């Protein structure tokens, strides 16, 4: 059974278009690597009023997501983000986990 994970990231004001372009350019490669490590579905949404990116992903019990930071495509996806959003020292986005509050099941 897949596990659902949600988190938010902080985008700098006025940078939504800049955030979309790099991801669009590498989408097939990034999607393939995510599936390879056990994450078959990953979506990012923008709250334009406050500049939050809200992400939801589904991951398999036998996932290998700890490999993601070491994948070239992941590092390449982070490079253009350093000046448009809050990031860690390694270039990865600052993530704030979100807790589930309600589900119909």
Pair of tokens at residue 2? 């897949």
Q: Cα(105)–Cα(103) distance, rounded to whole angstroms?
A: 6
Q: What is the pLDDT of residue 79?
A: 87
- Given a contact cutoff of 8 angstroms between Cβ atoms, the answer to whether 55 and 13 are in contact is no
Using the predicted structure, report yes or no on whether residue 53 has a pLDDT greater than 90: yes
Q: What is the pLDDT of residue 93?
A: 94
The catalytic residues are 23
Using the predicted structure, report yes or no on whether residue 21 has a pLDDT greater than 90: no
Q: Cα(36)–Cα(11) distance, rounded to whole angstroms?
A: 27
Using the predicted structure, report yes or no on whether residue 48 has a pLDDT greater than 80: yes
Q: Which domains, ranges and CATH numbers included, belong to the chain?
A: 3-95 (3.30.70.100)
Using the predicted structure, report yes or no on whether residue 75 has a pLDDT greater than 80: yes
* pLDDT, average across residues 74-97: 91
pLDDT digits (tens, 9 = 90+) for 29-39: 999 999 999 99
CA atoms within 13 A on the CB side of 21: 8
- Given a contact cutoff of 8 angstroms between Cβ atoms, the answer to whether 85 and 23 are in contact is no
Sequence-distant (6+) residues with CB within 8 A of 9 are 52, 53, 55, 85, 86, 93, 94, 95, 96
**Where residue 64 falls among pLDDT bands split at 50, 70, 90?**
very high
Long-range contacts of 86-91 (CB under 8 A, 24+ apart): 86/9, 86/10, 86/12
Q: What is the pLDDT of residue 57?
A: 94
């Amino acid at each position: 059974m897949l596990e659902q994970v949600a988190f938010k990231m902080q985008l700098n004001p006025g940078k939504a278009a800049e955030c979309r372009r790099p991801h669009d350019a590498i989408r097939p490669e990034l999607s393939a690597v995510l599936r390879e490590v056990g994450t078959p579905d990953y979506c990012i949404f923008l709250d334009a009023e406050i500049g939050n990116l809200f992400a939801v992903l589904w991951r398999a019990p036998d996932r290998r997501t700890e490999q993601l930071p070491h994948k070239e495509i992941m590092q390449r996806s982070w490079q253009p983000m350093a000046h448009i959003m809050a990031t860690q020292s390694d270039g990865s986005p600052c993530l704030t986990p979100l807790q589930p509050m309600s589900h119909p099941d």
